[in-house]
Amino acid sequence: MSQSGIILETSRAAHAVPSTMRAAVYRGKGKVVVETVPVPAIGTGEVLIRVAACGICGTDLKKIEHGFVAAPQIFGHEVSGTVVVVGAGVTEWKLGDRVMSFHHVPCGACFYCERRLFSQCPGYKKVGLTAGFDPNGGGFAQYVRALPWVADRGMVAIPDDISFDEASFIEPVNTCIKAVEKARVAAGETAVVMGLGPIGLLLAMLSKLEGATVIGSDPMPERRAKSVALGVDLAVDPREGRLAEEIRSRTQGRGADVVLVAVPIPGALTDALSLARPGGRVLLFAQNDPLMKIEFPAAAVGVEEKEILGSYSAAVDRAAEAARLIFTHQLPVNKLISHRFSLEDMDKALQLAARPVGDSLKVVIHP
């Protein structure tokens, strides 16, 4: 095909790839439209993935609801699928490979990468997956293009006995591994997880794997029940006003060693600090809204020596560990999926993910 076509002459394709596809296109604040767009062209060092599954992340929801990025965009970064086009020079992947793909890959050589601050790497900000428009994930489309640095260092092969749905969790599991490590959750400690949605449940399960006693907090009874079924030691409704008492009764009155905040509410930090013991740690996971302002009592840090930490995105050197925990079923991620939607039902999927009800947890799109 010509240089302007879908497949370059030097590429290899599994079959005749269509020239157009369906995609959920962000068209401005609060507006996502399922429409027909061109299938991305593939160049040297790149691959084209036929998307099989893509989870909806809270970050996607924030971008859509608040209009944090300019339209048009195609979001979706928890991607798994099958390689259908291989660009010239690609040797790691072949047609038909079942893969998941990260959307960010750091350079590995800069000041920040040397200090394992991969998400602060200037190159990391250049998203490596796109279904068209600016690179911004692209998993909410039938096909996605992996740019060279992602095809080279940011994809993971999926074993035959692992579903695409399970593999789509590798990226969010990676982010949670990074957060638990940064919070220094350790065996014998008491860890509190505020918010028992999909991310909170992953943080809780990973904290249990570290040997901590885990207390969860969520107003939804179905999520509290799910957390206990997945190994959480105690799950409390924060509206009942007994969470702090329950924690102190289990810690000789001290408070939690570490609190992991998985709810995007400004006031959650003050609550988390009140639950942590002197010298304890609070890890903010969901507070990635660029406009959010947070106030907290200074004495909690300046006198009681409590630490406030943050964790954002994935760590490239934890990709293999995230995959291992899923592939060996140490993390039963399938139990976190409550709903699956087709791309044509994207509006329903986004509404449910943004405003969960009943037993809804992880929402996965099958383009």
- Residue 7, pLDDT above cutoff 80: no
The pLDDT of residue 355: 96
**Token couple for 17:** 């790839």
**Mean of pLDDT values over 165-180:** 98
Q: Which fold has domain 12-172+315-366?
A: Quinone Oxidoreductase; Chain A, domain 1 (3.90.180)
Instruction: In the chain, list all ranges with CATH 3.40.50.720.
Output: 184-310
Contacts of 315 (CB under 8 A, 6+ apart): 116, 118, 174, 177, 178
Q: Residue 243 and residue 30: Cα distance in Å, rounded?
A: 35
Peptide bond into 290 cis (omega under 30): no
Q: How confident is the model at residue 230 (pLDDT cuts 50, 70, 90)?
A: very high
Helix runs in the chain, H state only? 58-66, 111-114, 148-153, 164-167, 170-182, 198-209, 221-229, 243-249, 268-275, 299-302, 319-327, 346-354
Contact 92, 151 (CB under 8 A): yes
Please list, residue by residue across 345-358, b when 16 or more beta carbons sit within 10 angstroms of its beta carbon and e when fewer do: bbeebbebbeebee
- Residue 106, pLDDT above cutoff 80: yes
Number of residues written out for the chain: 367
CATH architecture, domain 184-310: 3-Layer(aba) Sandwich (3.40)
Q: Residue 171 and residue 54: Cα distance in Å, rounded?
A: 11
Which amino acid is present at 248?
R
pLDDT tens readout for residues 42-73: 999 999 999 999 999 999 999 999 998 999 99
Instruction: In the chain, list all ranges with CATH 3.90.180.10.
Output: 12-172+315-366
In this structure, are strands 276-284 and 143-146 parallel, antiparallel, or unpaired? unpaired
- Residue 4, pLDDT above cutoff 70: no
